[in-house]
Amino acid sequence: MLQGKEVLLGVTGGIAAYKSVLLLRELIKEGANVHVIMTKSAQNFVAPLTFQTLSGNQVTTEIFTLFSSSKIGHISLADRADLLVIAPATANIIGKIANGIADDFLTTMVMATRVPVLFAPAMNTNMWASPVVQANISRLKSMGYNFMEPAEGELACGTTGRGKLADVDEIMEDIKTLLSPNDLAGEKILITAGPTEEAIDPVRCITNRSSGKMGYNLAMVARRRGAEVTLISGPSCLPVPCGLPTIHCTTALEMERIIHENLDNATMVIMAAAVADFRPAEKSEKKIKRLGDHCLDLEPNPDILAGLGKIKGKRFLVGFAAETNDLVANAREKINRKNLDMIVANNVSTCGAGFCCDTNIIKIIDRDGTIYDFPQMSKEQVAEVILDHVVASRKKDGKEQ
């Protein structure tokens, strides 16, 4: 996701400095080129060599470090970067920057750069609550600096409360948000995910192998790109994305009801859920015993998406087609029958695509029948590609109107 991005990681002197090693690894795993800048006190917690070895780049610790020929280091780095993240950010660094002090490499660079700056503070609970720290943060926020809320929990100093460095996953999510285009701002999107479950008796059900990964990734990426997202999830083991409004449901009928309850404000619905087409005609209140002959009567579930197609208005509707054969023909038929704007088709019998796995191989089919083919990608990348097409289609629609 961060391929080709230049990220500056500022590390300041708090015990949470060891967690910035994990943050560095995540940044590199996602393809970023990272330059680490350490303050003097940060070097008491972690050796620069650790960051240097993992980043493959020289770690900057001195204010007068020169980079490539004659350009002064902080200017050279500040010019090249896409983003500067300071994690952990101590009360001291926040105070210095808020008050215009530039007495080391990191503080000087914050002033020299025009790229987005993200602070991930970590400090003792009382320090965090101190009016001085809070005033400095408000001042920096009002100037356009970005802040993460520290987490609550047991701190290294022995107290319990707010002040822990935010989770690395959450810092990564904020970094990706700052590096994403804001091209879905103004869109209110309902995204469904996962399977549905239709009870046969108290212990058995009809369901499918959908994990929810595609829908959850779409929800996260759409939020990063500025959309107001509501995730409607069938049963899934995935953790709820931090701070993302999520409504859980079990059956297709529940999912249909929740969608309709939230439809009024929605400008778009993306139905990534694998909704069960049938449910048992009757649910046994008691566990069905093994003895005797059994026959399961099924009745059809409503086709939620086709129902939405009938009351579509100006909403943008995206459907999914999980097929094992005649992929394109089936997808085209669905786009017309369900009155959709776009369909994402994947062959669930192909290795590396469809349910459960972390990757997908998709084709996007437009309302006018154009087919776009994509190679195997992570579901996060697939979500980006789908939303790129949504944005392009929305722009085209806007011009045509």
- Residues in the site for ligand C5P, rule: CB under 6 A? 252, 271, 273, 275, 277, 301, 303-305, 319-321, 334
CB of 222 to ligand C5P, least distance (A): 16
CA distance 4 to 119: 22
Nearest to 14 by CA among 96, 74, 106, 92: 92
Toward ligand C5P, which CB reaches closer, 323 or 380? 323
Toward ligand C5P, which CB reaches closer, 17 or 276? 276
Toward ligand C5P, which CB reaches closer, 307 or 369? 307
CB of 113 to ligand C5P, least distance (A): 44
In single-letter form, the type of residue at position 339 comes to N
Tokens of 214: 């595609």
CB of 400 to ligand C5P, least distance (A): 25
CB of 195 to ligand C5P, least distance (A): 10
CB of 209 to ligand C5P, least distance (A): 15
- Which of left, alpha, beta for 20 (phi over 0: left; psi -120 to 50: alpha)? alpha
- The CA-to-CA distance between both ends of the chain, in Å, stands at 34
**Catalytic residue (choose from 157, 242, 351, 356):** 157
Per-residue 3-state assignment (H helix, E strand, C coil) for the chain: CCCCCEEEEEECCCCCHHHHHHHHHHHHHCCCEEEEEECCHHHHCCCHHHHHHHHCCCCECCCCCECCCCCEHHHHHHHHCCEEEEEEECHHHHHHHHCCCCCCHHHHHHHHCCCCEEEEECCCHHHHHCHHHHHHHHHHHHCCCEECCCEEEECCCCCEEEEECCCHHHHHHHHHHHHCCCCCCCCEEEEEECECCEECCCCCEECCCCCCHHHHHHHHHHHHCCCEEEEEECCCCCCCCCCCCEEECCCHHHHHHHHHHCCCCCCEEEECCECCCEEECCCCCCCCCCCCCCCCCEEECCCHHHHHHHCCCCCEEEEEEEECCCHHHHHHHHHHHCCCCEEEEEECCCCCCCCCCCEECEEEEECCCCEEECCCEEHHHHHHHHHHHHHHHHHHHHHHC
Toward ligand C5P, which CB reaches closer, 13 or 195? 195
Toward ligand C5P, which CB reaches closer, 323 or 384? 323
Counting every residue, how long is the chain? Answer: 401
CB of 141 to ligand C5P, least distance (A): 40
Longest dimension (CA), the chain: 87
The Cα-based distances of 324 to 100, 213, 330, 345, 353 in angstroms read 62, 19, 10, 10, 11
CB of 399 to ligand C5P, least distance (A): 27
> Could you confirm whether 357 is annotated as catalytic?
no
Toward ligand C5P, which CB reaches closer, 90 or 360? 360
CB of 256 to ligand C5P, least distance (A): 8
Toward ligand C5P, which CB reaches closer, 19 or 334? 334
Toward ligand C5P, which CB reaches closer, 14 or 215? 215
Active-site residues, by number, are 157
